[in-house]
Amino acid sequence: MTERDPEHEPNGEDARLKALQKRLNAAHHAEKVRKGEHKDGHDENYRLGNRVLAELIGGMVGGAVVGWVIDRFAGTAPWALLVMLFLGTVVAFRNIIRISNQRSK
């Protein structure tokens, strides 16, 4: 027998070991999901930050648009725009304060 005898060459990984590894990975994943440690890419803080940013931008832009429309039809340029922009900002901050006072999960 020589060193290069095909009978004694390693075959690589056994199919049973691969199947066992797959089952172990699935079991670890299921356990993380059961314990609540599983993160599916969406972080709660990230979503909360996006919501706060949307409230701020939406309030300011919405107030500015409504004020501009009132100015356009009533001819009160720039006063309705400024007042509605201010009111939109106040409403946005009120909503942000309301969001921040909610209990976390």
Please give the Cα distance from 24 to 46 (Å, whole number). 31
Please report whether residue 29 resides in a domain.
yes
User: How many other CB atoms are there within 10 angstroms of residue 40's CB atom?
Assistant: 6
Please report whether residue 1 resides in a domain.
no
Please give the Cα distance from 89 to 102 (Å, whole number). 20
Q: Are residues 96 and 49 in the same domain?
A: yes
60 in Cβ contact with 92 (< 8 Å): yes
Please report whether residue 79 resides in a domain.
yes
What's the pTM value of the predicted model, to 2 decimals? 0.57
- The tens-digit pLDDT sequence of the chain (105 residues) is 455 655 555 566 688 888 888 999 999 888 888 887 766 556 788 888 999 999 999 999 999 999 999 999 998 889 999 999 999 999 999 999 999 998 766
Q: How many residues does the chain have?
A: 105
Q: What domain range is 68 assigned to?
A: 44-100
Q: What is the pLDDT of residues 12-34, one digit of tens each?
A: 668 888 888 899 999 988 888 88
Read off φ and ψ for residue 63, nearest 5 degrees. Answer: -65, -40
Q: Are residues 61 and 80 in the same domain?
A: yes
Please report whether residue 16 resides in a domain.
yes
